[in-house]
């Protein structure tokens, strides 16, 4: 799904859906409350994992405000990928504003129930991920941390399903190569 020009260029829009669709009338407070309950934590974790720990709650709120404002553009059945893609745009805009986004602010003690945080504290994993291109890192982290595959991954990346599958396969191959080349601790 490619974003189309809109009054807010930082938010993905479904080009197959007319801009003034009456769907917004069906997406009322109850719809938004259900969306919030189902996905707010995932959006917050997405932002925290990308280094926006100090501003993650504000950024997540921005994403959810955008979802409410653009509710007619949120694809039915693919709400979370749309929110992740929007979060990526919100985070990119936040970074462009020049505010520091400290990647090193990851807690030393990870929660036992979150393998993603354990992976981030492992220096070798950080170094290997750092050796990859930003696109490969993004694809791998969307898959590993957010659990996105197939159509959902394609939606977040704004490419076709085949393109997403190929990008994930290539990123995994480059990760294997980088891991093999990384010095053991």
Q: What is the pLDDT of residues 19-52, one digit of tens each?
A: 444 554 577 889 999 999 999 999 999 898 887 6
Record the pTM.
0.52
Q: In terms of domains, do 100 and 119 share one?
A: no
The answer to whether the beta carbons of residues 52 and 94 sit under 8 Å apart is yes
Q: Check whether residue 57 and residue 33 sit in a common domain.
A: yes
In a domain, 9, yes or no: no
Average pLDDT of every residue of the chain:
77
* Residue at which a domain ends, from 111, 144, 159: 111
Rounded distance between C-alpha atoms, residue 131 and residue 185, angstroms:
16
Domain containing residue 71: 28-111
CA dist., res. 65 & res. 5, Å (int): 19
CATH code for the domain in which residue 118 is found: 1.10.10.10
Name the maximum alpha-carbon separation found in the chain.
Answer: 58
Decide if 2 is inside a domain.
no
pLDDT in tens, 85-112: 999 889 888 887 764 434 454 445 544 5
Q: Does 7 reside within a domain? A: no
């Amino acid at each position: 799904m490619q974003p189309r020009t809109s009054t807010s260029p930082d938010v993905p829009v479904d080009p197959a859906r007319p801009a003034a669709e009456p769907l917004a009338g069906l997406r009322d407070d109850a719809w938004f409350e259900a969306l919030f309950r189902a996905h707010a934590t995932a959006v917050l974790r997405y932002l925290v994992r990308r280094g926006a720990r100090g501003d993650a709650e504000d950024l997540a709120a921005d994403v959810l405000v955008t979802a409410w404002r653009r509710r007619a553009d949120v694809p039915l059945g693919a709400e979370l990928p749309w929110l992740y893609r929007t979060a990526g745009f919100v985070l990119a805009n936040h970074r462009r504003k020049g505010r520091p986004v400290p990647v090193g602010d990851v807690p030393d003690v990870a929660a036992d129930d979150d393998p993603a945080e354990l992976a981030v504290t492992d220096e070798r994993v950080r170094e290997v991920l750092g050796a990859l291109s930003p696109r490969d890192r993004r694809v791998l982290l969307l898959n590993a941390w957010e659990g996105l595959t197939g159509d959902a991954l394609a939606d977040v990346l704004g490419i076709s399903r085949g393109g997403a599958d190929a990008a994930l396969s290539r990123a995994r191959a480059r990760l294997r190569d980088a891991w093999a080349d990384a010095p053991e601790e």
